Structure 1
């Protein structure tokens, strides 16, 4: 049941995102589109509640509960970033807005961008670990090894992403000869 709900939440995320952007830019109903986009966190709350109820009803803690925590952590951290980026592209394509700048491709600007993405991954891992720790304490003396294993999975993902982000800092990619990297305004995101 939890795996099916995770899949439904992911599909629901993209359906709400597409519907929100379509209503916002194609139908020119900005408030209604924004309301649809703001409904997306409700999906994570439903997944959290169903997972907690599943554990409370005596379900053996398993990989599906760990996966639910990782999914929630990822969407809490990367969801707003994804919505902002796609909103910029929709405004450009559907409403004639300016083309949103892409991520920097070279040099220290790229390293800074990768560092910000890594911080998002660290935040996602922290949220997932906190949810998993709460589940471990909620279950009590039950078999919680799989939940502990998912905590290590979240920490490993953050560490691997950190190593990858560090490579951009240590060995920044140089712009090809004759091409200058445009000066970009550094924004959070």
Structure 2
């Protein structure tokens, strides 16, 4: 596994460590400002990953799936990051501090709309990640070195289409509450 793959793994781990530290600061240490600063700093992790990936490719490395995955990770993390932090915040507050409540389960049209909004976020993360992938391809200007980037873009396009199809099925066959 190349060093970019390790940086991606470290970025994902660091993302959740920073979120956990922010939640601990906010709820257990009662340092709301510190908690906010930690939670708001998660995009810096994405920036570091973007710089590392770009520098590695600029120096002549052949793009690998790890480089392509870095672009996907950045797109998903930046677009879904706020909702992931909100998800973690709700559960931390409920399970650890015994405050608040979990959001109610969604069913029917409400679930379909919620899932479709998630698909819209997926579309935005795709646009961001695809822009990064395309930018790297343009920066490198060598099709032999960018096959993995183009391949990831094609794969992600298929995944996005499947996610849209799945999202639309919830409008046709709404999710029902368990009896």
TM normalised by structure 2 equals 0.92
CA offsets 1:143-173 (integer angstroms, 9 cap, x no match): 2221111111221111111111111011113
Q: Which runs of 5+ in 1 are unaligned?
A: 178-189
CA contact (8 A) 1:26 1:94 kept: no
Distance 2:134 2:34 in 1: 37
Distance 2:91 2:70 in 1: 29
Confirm whether residue 64 of structure 1 aligns to residue 66 of structure 2. Answer: yes
Confirm whether residue 118 of structure 1 aligns to residue 110 of structure 2. Answer: no
Distance 2:59 2:15 in 1: 27
What does residue 181 of structure 1 align with? none
Aligned residue for 2:62, secondary structure, equals coil
Superposition deviation, residue 57 in structure 1 = 0.7
CA contact (8 A) 1:24 1:32 kept: yes
What does residue 75 of structure 2 align with? 73
Confirm whether residue 40 of structure 1 aligns to residue 52 of structure 2. Answer: no
**1:88-127 maps to which residues of 2 (within 5 A)?**
88-95=90-97, 97-104=99-106, 106-127=107-128
Q: Which runs of 5+ in 2 are unaligned?
A: none
Give every structure 1 segment of 4 or more consecutive aligned residues whose post-TM-superposition deviation is greater than 6 Å: none
Confirm whether residue 147 of structure 1 aligns to residue 149 of structure 2. Answer: yes
TM normalised by structure 1 equals 0.87
Q: CA RMSD in A?
A: 1.5
What does residue 31 of structure 1 align with? 33
Distance 1:60 1:173 in 2: 45
Aligned residue for 1:35, secondary structure, equals helix
